[in-house]
Amino acid sequence: MFRNHLLPLCLVGGLFTAGSSFAQVVTIPVETQHNALVLQTDANKNLKMVYFGARLSNTAEYARIQKMYNQKDDSGILNSAYTPSGSANLSEPAITVTHANGDKSLSLAYVSHEVTKVADDISLLTVTLKDPVYDFEVKLFYKTYFKEDVTEQWSVIKHGERGEVILNKFASANLNLKGDGFWLKQYHGNWAEEMRPEEARLTHGIKTIDSKLGTRANLYEPSMFAISVDKPATEDEGKVLLGALEWSGNFKIDFELDVADNLRLIAGINNAAAEYHLKPNEEFATPAFVYTYSDQGKGDASRKLQRWARKYKIVDGEGSRLTLLNNWESTYFDFNETKLAELLKDTKKLGVDLFLLDDGWFANKYPRNDDHAGLGDWQENKQKLPDGVSWLVKEAQNNGVKFGIWIEPEMVNPKSELYEKHPDWVIKQPNRPEKYFRNQLVLDLTNPKVQDFVFGVVDNLFTKNPDLAYIKWDCNAVIYNAYSAYLKKDQSHLYTDYVRGLYKVLERVRAKYPKVPLMLCSGGGGRVDYGALKYFTEFWPSDNTDPLERIFIQWEYSYFYPAITSSNHVTDWGKQPLKFRTDVAMMGKLGFDIVVSKLSEQDLDYVHGALKNYDNLKEAIWHGDQYRLQSPWDNDAASIMYVDNAKAKAVMFNYLVNNRYGTGTHVPIRLKGLDPQKKYQVKEINLYPGAKSPIENDLVLTGDFLMNVGVNPRVDKNRTSVVLELDEAR
């Protein structure tokens, strides 16, 4: 009846009485180091998710869990592991289809499951479900990362009917959680206002977070969220699931508190205007929904996700990164070779690794001198750059720095040669006036020719300039008037096939240029997700670089993404001193976007010192564990720390976020993640030249003391940011 499994997931069989007949119950625990998700069939072979929580020590007892419940389930809606629609299930479905004959009913029965070991740490469970009446199959995949407590879940849909089946809805995952109440922490925002959190208790009915923007899909709302179970989890206490869809397009996540007070969570591509026509034997794979769970608060959960991302998801997550000087805010579109030659010298003078040339370097017939023209014409502007990019790459080398460049290859300005030549490559309604977002339109990446073109933008740059060392890939528009000349009758495939087209391009880029650093940008953080980050080394969290705002933005991103991915630039936004701006940017991947020539000698000295400190601490910041100590939302000062894997070196960043009433840190802040037995030398670093630290010299304290009593960074209105370094004392 079912194929047996391999390691380490196990099958716990048992006899289940259903009316007068006996049916074999199949129990499938999906285990990670601390957690378990348990699937189980019922008498009618419906696959249910009967448990989600801490891993039990006695595996055999998973089979008993469901028997502890005595819930009425007349409409079969409870706990389905992948809720079909139009037959016996009457709740919000994970999947809805229209069969080739027009019938809209679907039933999915358990057929078999198997487990394959992908690597030491990674297992893949595949469960096959079939409609008993139609030749229609869904495979559910659960990829577990044992040590990290992370699971990626997706489905693959296939049929053998005579003619096309329409997929009206096709979720990646359908989870069921049990608990005494659920609290959703979600995010909203806009340009320069990314990651604004809200947390509330879920009431009965369905709460949805979603996007229908197409590209730049996270502009108003990303798919990342946290669900606390039983009570709102704090940083170090409580049960919490962190989840996100690995998809750079429209998404939909439903949270339904059902009739039995379970939480039904359905996550996937947004099916709005996106039904998919599936040919016989064609496979439709949904993107992965990634999640982790901890019963020790949001901090622990976030460290699990960060570790997983570094090890398995982002490009070169355990590798190194380049510090840089960007010219966007110092020049905007206004530059030429002479100016850039100066900036290359400034890059060296500042002491960073790379110069990143931003928007404005391309297009001739319609020069890119502002954001109204030129997108799509990726030839160097002859007036600004008569000797081309290759000259700049060489000039950078002459100055002992590397060179990187900005592109936005998925987009086109109507004022461009590309638009004139290939109007059919542009997403727009043939019968409606064009509607622009930042004066531009989106190219139709469902079209393989457009994919070739976009790949070519990157490939040409690297072919002509093999020493080009970095690319910032931007995406500034949403999709209005969705229509693809290429897709013809399958218009509803556009949103899905666009993202698939984008990933095909990025696959090709990575096949040819596996390690080159790429920054994921979308008018700020409009497209930060693990579907895209698989191809990128880092992302741009927000165009808002006011360091005060950045503390909050970076803080919230950190629940989902490791510090090594967060490109934080020191700019001239905000009124804070250079030290404050730099100290804030050091929370992640440090960069600058300032006018170096305007820095005083002391400023420069300070930056040089900070860069040296950053170099010394980057192992802890990039690859270590991050602990949030004091939230900027509830305190006058925010405090966050990073500990390297040997627990030998740590750094604590402290920032004043509320300047009223002479506030500051009056009491010590308890550290986390240190070795209680070890002794640490605590010293203040990143001091502005001439400043004296009130922190005593040669302060050596045990990890025990630092974690139970703490240390007072003495933040106040005269010391608005304080960085403390901790080194194991030998």
Interacting residues with ligand GLA (CB under 6 A)? 328, 358-359, 371, 406, 474, 476, 521, 523-524, 540, 543
Q: Which two tokens stand for residue 316?
A: 């070169």
What share of residues in the chain are helix, strand, coil (percent, to 5)?
Answer: 20, 35, 45
Q: What are phi and psi of 618, to 5 degrees?
A: -65, -30
> By C-beta, is 84 or 591 nearer to ligand GLA?
591
Alpha carbon distance 284, 396 (integer Å): 46
> By C-beta, is 474 or 725 nearer to ligand GLA?
474
> By C-beta, is 408 or 603 nearer to ligand GLA?
408
The H-assigned helical ranges of 480-576 are: 494-512, 530-533, 547-557
Report the nearest approach of ligand GLA to the CB of residue 28 (Å): 45
Judge contact between 118 and 143, C-beta under 8 A.
yes
Report the nearest approach of ligand GLA to the CB of residue 248 (Å): 16
* Gap between the terminal Cα atoms of the chain: 63
Alpha carbon distance 42, 206 (integer Å): 26
Report the nearest approach of ligand GLA to the CB of residue 216 (Å): 10
Judge contact between 96 and 165, C-beta under 8 A.
no
Report the nearest approach of ligand GLA to the CB of residue 57 (Å): 50
Report the nearest approach of ligand GLA to the CB of residue 540 (Å): 6
Residue among 596, 602, 607 nearest 339 (CA): 596
Report the nearest approach of ligand GLA to the CB of residue 567 (Å): 10
Alpha carbon distance 199, 405 (integer Å): 39
- What residues pair up with 188 in beta bridges, in sequence order? 196
Convert 405-428 to b/e letters by CB count within 10 Å (16 or more is b). bbbbbbbbbbbbbbbeebeebbbb
Report the nearest approach of ligand GLA to the CB of residue 44 (Å): 52
Q: What's the gap between Cα 555 and its chain centre?
A: 14
> By C-beta, is 152 or 359 nearer to ligand GLA?
359
Residue 714 has, within 13 A of its CA and on its CB side, a CA count of 8
**Bond before 84 cis per omega within 30 degrees:** no
> By C-beta, is 228 or 567 nearer to ligand GLA?
567
> By C-beta, is 476 or 558 nearer to ligand GLA?
476
> Which DSSP category does 515 fall into?
S
Report the nearest approach of ligand GLA to the CB of residue 27 (Å): 49
What value, to the nearest 5°, has the Cα angle with vertex 655 and ends 654 and 657?
Answer: 145
> 3-state SS string over 638-703?
EEEEEECCCCCEEEEEEEECCCHHHCCCCCCECCCCCCCCCEEEEEEECCCCCCCCCCCCCEEEEH
> Which DSSP category does 461 fall into?
H
> By C-beta, is 30 or 458 nearer to ligand GLA?
458
Report the nearest approach of ligand GLA to the CB of residue 361 (Å): 11
> By C-beta, is 371 or 549 nearer to ligand GLA?
371
Q: How far is CA 572 from CA 545, 569, 600, in A?
A: 8, 10, 14
Alpha carbon distance 470, 486 (integer Å): 32
> By C-beta, is 406 or 573 nearer to ligand GLA?
406
H-helix or E-strand spanning residue 621: helix 601-623
Q: Residue with the closest Cβ to ligand GLA?
A: 359
> By C-beta, is 368 or 628 nearer to ligand GLA?
368
> By C-beta, is 453 or 573 nearer to ligand GLA?
573
Report the nearest approach of ligand GLA to the CB of residue 583 (Å): 22
**Angle between helix 337-350 and 388-398 (nearest 10):** 30
Report the nearest approach of ligand GLA to the CB of residue 186 (Å): 23
> By C-beta, is 523 or 703 nearer to ligand GLA?
523
Alpha carbon distance 110, 89 (integer Å): 15
Report the nearest approach of ligand GLA to the CB of residue 598 (Å): 20
Report the nearest approach of ligand GLA to the CB of residue 371 (Å): 6
Where does residue 600 rank: exposed (0-12), middle (13-18), buried (19+ CB within 10 A)? exposed
Total residue length of the chain? 730
Report the nearest approach of ligand GLA to the CB of residue 522 (Å): 7
> By C-beta, is 359 or 380 nearer to ligand GLA?
359
> By C-beta, is 256 or 358 nearer to ligand GLA?
358
Query: Cα torsion for 486, 490, 496, 497, to the nearest 10°?
Result: -30
> Which DSSP category does 386 fall into?
T
> By C-beta, is 519 or 650 nearer to ligand GLA?
519
Report the nearest approach of ligand GLA to the CB of residue 530 (Å): 20
